[in-house]
Amino acid sequence: MKIIKPSGYKAALDMQQTEQGIKLIKEFFQQNLSTELRLRRVTAPLFVLKGLGINDDLNGVERAVTFPIKELGDAKAEVVHSLAKWKRLTLAEYNVAPGYGIYTDMNAIRADEELDNLHSLYVDQWDWEAVITKEQRSIAFLKNIVTRIYSAIRRTEYLTCETYPQLKPFLPEEIHFIHSEELLAMYPDKTAKEREDAICEKYGAVFIIGIGGKMANGEKHDGRAPDYDDWTTIGENGLAGLNGDILIWYPVLGRSFELSSMGIRVDKESLLRQLALEGQVERQSLYFHKKLLNDELPLSIGGGIGQSRLCMVMLHKAHIGEIQASIWPDEMRKECQEAGMHLI
């Protein structure tokens, strides 16, 4: 088990204060996010039908939790991994205008997750998606949206620290932007995770652009499915990628910490290009993909922001199990208890 046990760790808030803090953070942040990006709340599914290409494939190897539906002749349903593609279908169904979007509470089960301080079988996110114009499919527009999301995160930190004075703010005023290729050039001898740690420790908050495609060393910074984020379109400085991750340096654990994965979504050209690169051209015949290729879906930008992760950072917790109720190995629970981490 890969558990980080901070020396001398003691939670700043007891369990009752923690629950109150979670409510405060979730209510405040989602209202700020909604206002900042002009998003309307919608109701989301916990599961979707298998075989339509709607579920998020993540890195392509994670198994979705499936079950048969009696009333549909035992047709299989899958618990969502995320709502990346479902949201785009919903934008079209609701006929959302450019400049506006939707957000929802996404709850998922990822049975193949490797459990540690940040990863749980249970995933909860604010999933959001907004309609954009062709002209807005640019790095400049992506950076603008990232900056506005980061502003909402910092406002949430300010409120939390005002409510609980024992918590001291640590996020920098501004978020630093860097492309994954530039990051590789800075730290050519480090792994992707080590590069994230190094750049986050240096700047405090970072958005790494261009995640999903192979870099100069023949490796990917991290995996991305080929059919939602656009990671092949050439942006500024001749570098590919209109997506990325928001990461911070988290002093409680002494490591980088991902808060959000997001990006401008594929258009027809980048979808076909990325499916070919990943050897998944057969997906063109699936329900979602046919709609996109037939111009039945709007251009969009979207992402997910971890609810438990944001609360964990705001409340200075060392383990995500101090924020959410999930299943953990008995040995992990024992180790965490001994290290001052009281898992719910």
- Helix (H), strand (E) at residue 103: strand 101-109
Lateral strand order in the sheet of 66-69: 47-49, 75-79, 66-69
Take residue 135 and report the two structure tokens written for it. 């002209």
Q: CA-CA distance, 306 to 134, in Å (whole number)?
A: 28
CB-CB contact of 201 with 46 (8 Å): no
CB-CB contact of 132 with 141 (8 Å): yes
Q: CA-CA distance, 210 to 189, in Å (whole number)?
A: 19
DSSP for 178-247? EEHHHHHHHSTTS-HHHHHHHHHHHHSEEEEE--SSB-TTS-BSS---TTSB--SSB-GGG-B-SEEEEE
Q: What is residue 156's three-state secondary structure?
A: helix
Q: CA-CA distance, 239 to 241, in Å (whole number)?
A: 7
**Which of 126, 176, 125, 183 shows the shortest CA–CA distance to 147?**
176
DSSP for 119-152? --SEEEEEEEEEE--GGG-SHHHHHHHHHHHHHH
Which residues participate in catalysis according to the annotation? Answer: 56, 110, 125, 245, 258, 261
Amino acid at the residue 88: R
Q: Which residues pair with 261 in a beta bridge?
A: 245, 304
Residue whose entry in the numeric block shows the structure tokens 């035992």 = 74
**Which of 1, 4, 7 shows the shortest CA–CA distance to 255?**
4
Burial class of residue 295, CB neighbours in 10 A (0-12, 13-18, 19+): exposed
